[in-house]
Each structure stands twice: as structure tokens, then as C-alpha cells.
A and B are shown apart, each in its own frame.
Chain A
């Protein structure tokens, strides 16, 4: 506007030899600039260092980490022990899950109903479970109920009742839940992929929540035996993590009174064999007649927990399918409209892990989506851009921040590190390792994602998806039934 005004005046003068008095038209003030037209710059990131828990130990050596936070009058306690579903005997898949279920159905002087009533009367909740590598119990409650909560927890761990009727009831409930789950395409895909990837008898290939047959076959004697080996004498290898409105001293005193003399056998170590090598496996199909969508589950060879390749692989996985703008979600959801969402994730377990991709695709475009997916899996092996790396690092940091905003998130995060034998600085160390990764480190990490080594499971209506797959050249197909 300023540059053009003098030019206009000169031209007017040149065209008017006898200038007459001219009344200049009112000049409208230019509208103020719209602040929305300028995108603000992003300031420097605020430094963030995750907290280091306070450390202690009980008289019998059981380590305890405490994260004190008095902003709300609640606590979260997690007790981890080694030994999980990998200890289920062959044909008894589900013994671990059944044992964990019955442990909270009566303990000490309280039968099942009285135990539940006492827990709930005090505003507490207690849950637990068994994964392949280990088992856990988790307690949440008002902070001044820590003592009574530990009384109940100690009874579950050391003095469960295992009443026959409760075992029967628990088995029926787990069995019904399992059968319900087998109607869920995503659940079916995950179980089937684990069994096919690891092998049906591998400790990681057997479903942690059991099989219908295994649950039925697990006897009360086996339940008691599983509990005795994992929990009753489980102090060696056990660990406590407490987060919330508690002090280290109070936690150690209260835990010491209930668990200081907890018996200690040798820590359970179950060797986990390597996964079988997959080489151009068929695409496995699970028939789900009438499904409007096809469930995809892809399992690649992954990593052991805590190895140096974990950070670059984690970041590459985020770029592939860990956020909304990830390559896979951008293509399959936002560009193609084939799906509601796609997720890639890295599951690092104690002794081996997997990289997985999961999605639900509209049934009529199953083969097209598979072509796209394979293309992206190839592409990520060539590496990522610096902008993608920065995005993944930001997402990883934000994940940690958000985990720490709840007692259960903080407690669970640190409990996993403690159970894995990592130091109290593990979270900060891991975040520093993520921040130190350069793009050059991601390429070899993601280069390991050879699709020939992966297991692909598709759960959908066979009559709809099989012709499409064959037409697109996917002829190596194998129909399987879920475990």
C-alpha cells in the first residue's frame, strides 16, 4: 500500500495540465491484519526429566520403589513376581489365569463374598493377571487404607483359600469370557498370530488367558501347585512399586510388617526358545462369515527388552504406525478411507519380542489394503526423514509425560522396570536414549522388518476376501482355526 500511493499521485499530475482544486476521496483505513493469518512459532521445549523413585528393601531382600505424590489422597501399589503363563503345563493353558482369578475369591479368614465386600467397603480395588513372563497384583485405594489393603494383599499372596466352589465358578467365568472373546475378530487375530508366529507349544505362543480345553483340564491341585511355586514362595524375584500419597518410610514399615518374612525360593527362570524362522509363510486366513471388515494382524521378529536397538526401532515403529499422521494411518485411513485406524507397536518382552501391525479393513478392499500395507512395510526399511524422527521423539516423550500423570501409570511404568532388573533411572535413561537417536540409526533397525519373515493373519469372510486376494496374486493362502 505505501509503495503504490506516490505512483498514483504522479500520474494524476501528469494528466492534468491545469490542475483544479481536487477533493481527495476519503481513504479507507486498511483493515487491521488478522492475527490468525500468521501461524505462531513454537518456542523451545521445556526440559523434562522423569522422576527417580525412592528405593528401599524389605528384610527378606524384596526391593521397593516409592513415588511420593501428595496431590490426591490415593495410592497405587503393584506387586510383580516372575513366573507367568509360560509355566502352564502342556494341555493346561489357563492354569495361571485361573489361579490369578481364584486368588481374589477368598483369602485368610474371609471367604470369596466376604473378601470382595471388605475390599469394596474400604474403597479399594485389587486386580491381577499373568503374562507370559511374570504375574502381578495391583491395588488402588485411599491413601489411609494402605495398611488394610496390604493385609488383604498378604492374605491373597500367602494365604489364599482356593475353595473348591470358587475354583469351579472362576473356571466357568473365564471359560465364558474366553468364548465371548472368540467372537471378536481383533482378539481372534491376535491369538492366532501369536500361536503361528511363536509356535503352538512355545511359551509365548500359548495364550496367557488359556484355551477352552486347557482351562477345563486345569485341576484344583494344579492351581494350588502353580500358586505355591509362583506366589507362596515367591519373594525371590518379587518387587513392589508404590505411587501416590505415601512416604517411603511408611511404605517400608507397612510392607515389612506383612511381607518381611515372606518365604523365598529360587527365582523362577524359564528359558524361552527362539521363535521359529518364518520364510515366506502363507497368508493365514481365519474364516469369519458375514464380517463387514477384515481383521489384520502382522507379527514380525522383535527385540528383547532393553537392548540398544530398542530406541531406534521404537521410533521407526512410531513413524510407521504409532500416531495419527503415521505412514500407515495416513495412507489406509486418511488417503484411502479403508479403515478407522491402523496401529504398529513394538512389544519387547523379557526374552524376545515382536513388532506388530493391526488394523480392521473394509472387507471389499482387503486385497487392495494388503498391497498398500506391503508397500509401506518395504518403504520403511529405507529409513525415515529427520522430520519424522523429530515427530516420533516428541510422541515418545509425550507418552512418558502422560503415563506419569496418574498413579497407576507411574506405578505401572516403574514397576515394569523394577521387575526387569533395571535401575531406578531406567525411565530417564530410556528417554535420553530415544532423544539421542539419529536418522541413520533407524534405517538398520527398520531394515530388519523383512516381510518374508513375518506372519500375516487375516480374519474375515472367506468368500469375500479370498477371491480378491487371489486376483491380486496372493495365492499362498492357508485356512486356520484360532487356538
Chain B
């Protein structure tokens, strides 16, 4: 059990909302907050890079860009122009399991936001052209250059997918995709993807902020109610994977220092062991009293250590990343990481460590809930991964109830040395 020194944390984090479903299957959540004159419309589609056809890696994300390229009712850059003309803005992101679109702006833009989201949900595909596709293809390829190719150590996340997942697995390719696959995408691919996945029964809409919920219900029904539902294709759930495809990969990069990355398969999001491994990640790498920070950074052996648990629908990834100090052998650093994991697998964390983890996690939850858009997105995330938007209490509870022994057990079950894949980045010109 996580204990807290802070009485303030006896307050349970809450997000008040009302939820309903339109006859066409669209999930609708209304979350009122009058503290500031702003609204957020957050639309979550349950489609991501895991749903891409072979030879079309990066397509879900490319499609996300095309969602802003106009419809016959609002052509060209109208989506952005109309929104920004009144002080609003928008953005979107794509991950393995989902694509999320959000509109943020002054409260008087709410009806416009809903109309624009419904318009593109109903009609985006009909207005698609090769010219639009080519333009956004270029933008996405620039994004790949900026985020991966020209970013120090940025190629690791691209190597990770094939090193860890078997060919054909939904996670065996990166979200950004390859240049070749991006170049191969056609307008037919775009319209097919839209018709298949961008349907109301595959989406959840959260309306948040300073608005009248009765009025919002009228607008949601008016604009989204007439969009037809369509049968979704069956998805084949991949078999669980625990062994990596490659034990070790070495890549070169224009960097000054090597980087050690160790990755393991780990539990799916919200499944048993996910919260425990998230706490293990915090125990090892979050803060200056974390175990790996103490044994590597504080000891002068490394300049940086990061640990993460990244849960997804069909499984997760646990990762440890270390950049050693100049002259410190990577093998020495790796031995220390493996030593800490071996110790944790047999010896549960102390009560003081559990207290630290509890407080850090609780304040992180509160701070995460501050921005309106974060709250809206979190409700959609709960819906997508747990089937209910009302997931905050259960989410908090799974961390509160995690025991020291369970943390140890999760390490011994998932983070065995022989199940790791090692991705080593070496500076160009250095000996691997």
C-alpha cells in the first residue's frame, strides 16, 4: 500500500461529468468547469498505427494530418482559419492505439467546434485529393526528419519496434512510419481508411469547460446525430509476446556520447502489473533519490537515466535509457542496471520508498488534472482502454493498492535479463 505524509492527499482526485451515447454509437461526455471562459472539444478515435495495412506504416498519423485539409463545406484551411479567427486553436496526435483531436478556445466557440468536428467526421473523405495528400506527406516526412533523424538518439524509437515485436505484430512498426511507406500512400488508401475507422461508433467526444450542458446536448445531437454508424472490421488480437526479436542492436548517430537502451515486453495498459511496473519505473528513475539515479548519476557514472513503463492495448514496453559519463564503459553501466533489477526482483522496496512513490504519484495525478484539455483527454483515454470514462477512481486505486511485494514480483516476472533487447547508440566514428 502507498502511504502519504501529506494529509492534503486524503482528497481523492475527481472529474465530475455526465455521459451518454447517441443512437449511432458516439460516446458523449460533458464535463462542466466554469472557472475560466474556455472550452475544449476532445475527440478520440480508436484507430492508430496498429491498424495500418502492410506496406502503409505511418498511415494513421498521415491521415491525422489530412483531417485538417478541408471538406466541401469548409474547404482548404477553413478548419484552422475559422477556429483561429475567434481565438481558438487545435491539434492532434496519433499513437499505436488511437488518434486524438482537440479544439481549445473561448467558450463562445463551442457550437462552432462541434459543427467542425461533426463536419469532418461526416465528410472528410469526399473532399480528398492527391494534392492534399502530397502536401501533408511532405510535412510528415519533415516531422520524421525533425523528430527522429536529426534529433540526437532519435532513431532508437524506430529501431525498437522491430527489435521487440515479431513481423506482422500490430506494434512491429513505428507510428511515424518509413519514408517508403509514406511515399506509397494513395488517395484510395485515405478514403478507405476514413470510411472504415472514422465512424461515430468508433469515437468518443468529450466537451469540457464553461458551457451549458443542456445546450451542448442539443448541439451534439444536431450535428453528430445524423452521421451513420458503420460496422467496424474485426481486429485480430495478437498473441502475447514476451521474448524480443533481437537480443542486441547497435546504431550510430551524430552524438558525443553512447547511449544504452534496454527494453522489455511488459503488461498492457491498465492490465495486471501495469501500475506496479510504472511504480518500478519511478522507483528506479524518477527523482534524485531514485535507485538508478543514485547508483549511476550520483555516483558519477552517468549523466542521465530514464525509466519508463509504456502500456498499450495489446502489451507494453518497459525501458531503461542511460547515457554514461565520458570514459565510463557501457558494460559497467549495464551491469549496474541489471544488478538493481536483480535486487528489486528479490527484495521489495522499503516503506520509505513506497511513501515517496505514493506522494510523487499522487501529486503527479493532481498536476496532470489541472489543464482542462488534460482532463478531457483522460476521460477519453479511460473509455478507450477500460470501456468506461469513469476510470479515475479505479486508476488511482490500482496505484494506492500496489504492494512492495507486487512491485518485486512484477520485476521478476517481466524484466528478466534474458528477455531484454539492447539498443546501443554509438557516436559516429567510435568503435561499437
B: interface residue count bin: 35 or more
Query: In whole angstroms, how far apart are the Cα atoms of A292 and B155 in the complex?
Result: 13
Q: Does A351 contact B (CB under 8 A)?
A: no
- Stretch in B94-102, B249-257, B341-349 with 4+ CB within 8 Å of A: B249-257
| Chain A residues in 8 Å Cβ range of B147 | 340
- Stretch in A44-52, A83-91, A468-476 with 4+ CB within 8 Å of B: A44-52
Indicate whether A113 sits within 8 Å of B289 (C-beta atoms), given known contacts A74-B367, A406-B370: yes
Q: In the complex, given contacts A40-B219, A337-B138, A360-B142, what are 6 additional A-B residue pairs having Cβ atoms less than 8 angstroms apart?
A: A47-B37, A113-B288, A169-B298, A293-B142, A391-B87, A401-B37
- Who on chain B is nearest to A115 by CB? B288
Contacting pair B89 A323 (CB below 8 A): yes
Contacting pair B142 A397 (CB below 8 A): no
| Chain A residues in 8 Å Cβ range of B372 | 405
Which chain A residues numbered 317 to 340 have a C-beta less than 8 Å away from chain B?
323-325, 330, 333-335, 337-340
Q: Does A407 contact B (CB under 8 A)?
A: yes
Query: In whole angstroms, how far apart are the Cα atoms of A43 and B5 in the complex?
Result: 48
- Stretch in A22-30, A172-180, A218-226 with 4+ CB within 8 Å of B: A172-180
| Interface flags, A331-354, vs B, CB<8A=1, else 0 | 001110111100000000000000
Contacting pair A120 B356 (CB below 8 A): yes
Query: In whole angstroms, how far apart are the Cα atoms of A112 and B219 in the complex?
Result: 57
Contacting pair B360 A401 (CB below 8 A): no
Which chain A residues numbered 85 to 131 have a C-beta less than 8 Å away from chain B?
112-113, 116-117, 120-123
Contacting pair A123 B149 (CB below 8 A): no
Contacting pair B303 A120 (CB below 8 A): no
Query: In whole angstroms, how far apart are the Cα atoms of A121 and B350 in the complex?
Result: 12
Indicate the member of B4, B13, B36, B123 with the most A CB atoms within 10 Å: B36
Contacting pair A39 B74 (CB below 8 A): yes
Among B74, B84, B303, the residue within 8 A (CB) of A325 is B84
- Who on chain B is nearest to A166 by CB? B298
Contacting pair B146 A37 (CB below 8 A): no
- Stretch in B109-117, B157-165, B314-322 with 4+ CB within 8 Å of A: B109-117
| Chain B residues in 8 Å Cβ range of A382 | none
Q: Does B210 contact A (CB under 8 A)?
A: yes
Which chain A residues numbered 392 to 434 have a C-beta less than 8 Å away from chain B?
393-395, 397-398, 401-402, 404-408
B351 to chain A, nearest CB (A): 11
Instruction: Pull 18 A–B residue pairs with CB atoms less than 8 Å apart, ordered by A.
Output: A36-B223, A40-B111, A46-B106, A73-B8, A74-B363, A123-B9, A123-B360, A140-B363, A142-B362, A145-B8, A180-B323, A183-B255, A289-B254, A325-B80, A390-B85, A394-B84, A397-B87, A405-B372
Indicate whether A172 sits within 8 Å of B325 (C-beta atoms), given known contacts A113-B298, A291-B150, A334-B77: yes
Among A45, A141, A176, A337, the residue within 8 A (CB) of B325 is A176
Contacting pair A325 B6 (CB below 8 A): no
Q: Does B27 contact A (CB under 8 A)?
A: no
| Interface flags, A183-199, vs B, CB<8A=1, else 0 | 11100000000000000
Contacting pair A35 B325 (CB below 8 A): no
B residues near A (Cβ < 8 Å) are 4-9, 11, 13, 35-38, 73-74, 77, 80-82, 84-90, 104-109, 111-112, 115, 118-119, 122-123, 134-139, 142-143, 145-147, 149-152, 210, 219, 222-223, 226, 254-257, 287-289, 294, 297-298, 300, 303-304, 323, 325-326, 352, 355-356, 359-360, 362-363, 366-367, 369-372
Contacting pair B115 A120 (CB below 8 A): no
A residues near B (Cβ < 8 Å) are 34-37, 39-40, 42-48, 71-74, 112-113, 116-117, 120-123, 140-145, 169, 172-173, 176-177, 179-180, 182-185, 245, 288-293, 323-325, 330, 333-335, 337-340, 360, 362, 387, 390-391, 393-395, 397-398, 401-402, 404-408
Query: In whole angstroms, how far apart are the Cα atoms of A339 and B109 in the complex?
Result: 29
Indicate the member of A39, A141, A184, A393 with the most B CB atoms within 10 Å: A39
A440 to chain B, nearest CB (A): 20
Indicate whether A324 sits within 8 Å of B80 (C-beta atoms), given known contacts A39-B73, A120-B289, A123-B6: yes
Among A42, A113, A172, A395, the residue within 8 A (CB) of B109 is A42
Contacting pair A401 B142 (CB below 8 A): no
Query: In whole angstroms, how far apart are the Cα atoms of A342 and B362 in the complex?
Result: 37
Query: In whole angstroms, how far apart are the Cα atoms of A172 and B151 in the complex?
Result: 23
**Number of A-B pairs, beta carbon distance below 8 Å:** 236
Query: In whole angstroms, how far apart are the Cα atoms of A245 and B136 in the complex?
Result: 45
| Chain B residues in 8 Å Cβ range of A36 | 73, 115, 118-119, 122-123, 223, 226
Indicate the member of A122, A338, A398 with the most B CB atoms within 10 Å: A398
Query: In whole angstroms, how far apart are the Cα atoms of A107 and B396 in the complex?
Result: 34
Indicate whether A142 sits within 8 Å of B6 (C-beta atoms), given known contacts A36-B118, A177-B303, A293-B142: yes
Contacting pair B300 A172 (CB below 8 A): yes
- Who on chain A is nearest to B87 by CB? A394
- Who on chain A is nearest to B361 by CB? A123
Query: In whole angstroms, how far apart are the Cα atoms of A433 and B219 in the complex?
Result: 35
Indicate whether A334 sits within 8 Å of B255 (C-beta atoms), given known contacts A35-B223, A177-B303, A292-B149: no
Indicate whether A402 sits within 8 Å of B371 (C-beta atoms), given known contacts A46-B107, A46-B210, A180-B257: yes
| Chain B residues in 8 Å Cβ range of A117 | 289, 352, 356
Contacting pair A395 B255 (CB below 8 A): no
Contacting pair A394 B88 (CB below 8 A): yes
B304 to chain A, nearest CB (A): 8
Among A140, A401, A408, the residue within 8 A (CB) of B36 is A401
| Chain A residues in 8 Å Cβ range of B138 | 337-338, 362
Contacting pair B11 A73 (CB below 8 A): yes
| Chain A residues in 8 Å Cβ range of B90 | 324
Contacting pair B366 A73 (CB below 8 A): yes
Contacting pair A121 B37 (CB below 8 A): no
| Chain B residues in 8 Å Cβ range of A406 | 367, 370-371
Contacting pair B255 A180 (CB below 8 A): yes
- Who on chain A is nearest to B10 by CB? A73
Query: In whole angstroms, how far apart are the Cα atoms of A39 and B78 in the complex?
Result: 12
- Who on chain A is nearest to B4 by CB? A123
A166 to chain B, nearest CB (A): 10
Query: In whole angstroms, how far apart are the Cα atoms of A289 and B104 in the complex?
Result: 40
- Who on chain A is nearest to B13 by CB? A72
Among B37, B89, B145, B149, the residue within 8 A (CB) of A48 is B37
Query: In whole angstroms, how far apart are the Cα atoms of A47 and B136 in the complex?
Result: 38
Contacting pair B81 A144 (CB below 8 A): no
Among A39, A184, A397, the residue within 8 A (CB) of B151 is A184
| Chain A residues in 8 Å Cβ range of B363 | 74, 123, 140-142
Contacting pair B287 A404 (CB below 8 A): no
Query: In whole angstroms, how far apart are the Cα atoms of A257 and B99 in the complex?
Result: 51
Indicate whether A123 sits within 8 Å of B257 (C-beta atoms), given known contacts A183-B152, A401-B38: no
List 7 tightest A-B contacts by C-beta distance, closest first. A394-B87, A337-B138, A123-B359, A73-B8, A176-B303, A116-B288, A142-B6
Query: In whole angstroms, how far apart are the Cα atoms of A40 and B110 in the complex?
Result: 10
Query: In whole angstroms, how far apart are the Cα atoms of A362 and B122 in the complex?
Result: 34
Query: In whole angstroms, how far apart are the Cα atoms of A173 and B288 in the complex?
Result: 13
Contacting pair A43 B108 (CB below 8 A): yes
- Who on chain B is nearest to A48 by CB? B37
Query: In whole angstroms, how far apart are the Cα atoms of A39 and B74 in the complex?
Result: 9
Contacting pair A405 B6 (CB below 8 A): no
| Chain B residues in 8 Å Cβ range of A142 | 6, 8-9, 359, 362-363
Among B111, B257, B294, B359, the residue within 8 A (CB) of A113 is B294
Among A40, A47, A71, A72, the residue within 8 A (CB) of B115 is A40
Query: In whole angstroms, how far apart are the Cα atoms of A410 and B355 in the complex?
Result: 29
Contacting pair B360 A120 (CB below 8 A): yes
| Chain B residues in 8 Å Cβ range of A334 | 77, 135, 139
Query: In whole angstroms, how far apart are the Cα atoms of A184 and B323 in the complex?
Result: 16
A47 to chain B, nearest CB (A): 8
Query: In whole angstroms, how far apart are the Cα atoms of A185 and B145 in the complex?
Result: 12
Query: In whole angstroms, how far apart are the Cα atoms of A245 and B366 in the complex?
Result: 12
Indicate the member of B7, B37, B115, B325 with the most A CB atoms within 10 Å: B37
B1 to chain A, nearest CB (A): 16
Contacting pair B74 A72 (CB below 8 A): no
Contacting pair A398 B104 (CB below 8 A): yes
Indicate whether A121 sits within 8 Å of B352 (C-beta atoms), given known contacts A36-B226, A116-B287, A142-B8: yes
